[in-house]
Amino acid sequence: MPAQTPSQPGGEPVGVIERLVRDDVDRKRFLKMVGGAGAASFGAFAVAACGSSGSSSTRAPAATTAASASAGDVAILNYALTLEYLESQFYAKVIAAKLFTGKVGMLVHDFGEQEDTHVEAIRGAVSKLGGTPVAEPVGRFPLSSASQVAQLAYTVENLGAAAYLGQAGKIQNPEVLATALAIHSVEARHAATLATLVKRPVTPDGAFATPAEMSTVLAAVKPFIA
């Protein structure tokens, strides 16, 4: 009997990354799979899970190696896509709440449009690699005041930049890496701009940014998923 795909209350399938965020056991299992050798190890696991040829050769065919690398990149892209979904929803809710006006309001609007573009770009990258974009989670965000939201936005943008940096060295496809670095740069600029608004350090880690591991990021965004 085939395993059933978990569903959200509305009947939509729950994406693997969203399940990882919700479920500590699933997250630890996934991180164990992709840990160590990073994306390549996840790809190898994916190929093994689909079945092996039974050959005694210790050297994998080029096609298998390429498939493994592609599977790893898809996993990383879907991880990034979940974060971008949440950022896009966050800015949409902030705009709808009308907490900011004038130049700051325009800035928030621009940031929201850029996060929407990130979502479309990553969805396209996943599809181009033959993968399925992860299902969009339902975000929930505390929006009590303009000052609280600005502080939260600063934290979220820094987390996003750190998340991309944490995966950069594990990406196999040069085009995927270029996309990730281009988005990372924008997330960092968002964070720096917000830092001036909330009077926080523009470069909180000094001369070199600190990458964030997947486990750290997933734990940080868990409270923002309904």
Q: What is the pLDDT of residue 114?
A: 98
pLDDT in tens, 184-218: 999 999 999 999 999 999 999 999 999 999 999 99
pLDDT in tens, 38-71: 333 333 333 333 333 444 445 556 555 667 778 8
Structure confidence at residue 20 as a pLDDT band (50, 70, 90):
low
Here the tokens at position 18 are 């969203």
Domain spans of the chain, in order of start: 16-224
Of 17-21, 176-180, 190-194, 198-202, the range with the lowest mean pLDDT is 17-21
Q: What is the pLDDT of residue 208?
A: 96
Contact assessment for residue 167 and residue 80, using Cβ atoms and an 8 Å cutoff: yes
**pLDDT of 157 strictly over 50:** yes
Burial bucket for residue 196 (CB in 10 Å: 0-12, 13-18, 19+)? exposed
Burial bucket for residue 59 (CB in 10 Å: 0-12, 13-18, 19+)? exposed
How far is CA 223 from its chain centroid? 15
Instruction: Name the CATH topology of 16-224.
Output: Ferritin (1.20.1260)
Q: What is the mean pLDDT of residues 103-117?
A: 97
Give the residues across from 225 on adjacent strands: 139
**pLDDT of 108 strictly over 90:** yes
Which residues, 6 or more positions from 17, have their beta carbon under 8 angstroms from its beta carbon? 78, 79, 81, 82, 134
Of 40-54, 112-126, 144-158, 204-218, the range with the lowest mean pLDDT is 40-54
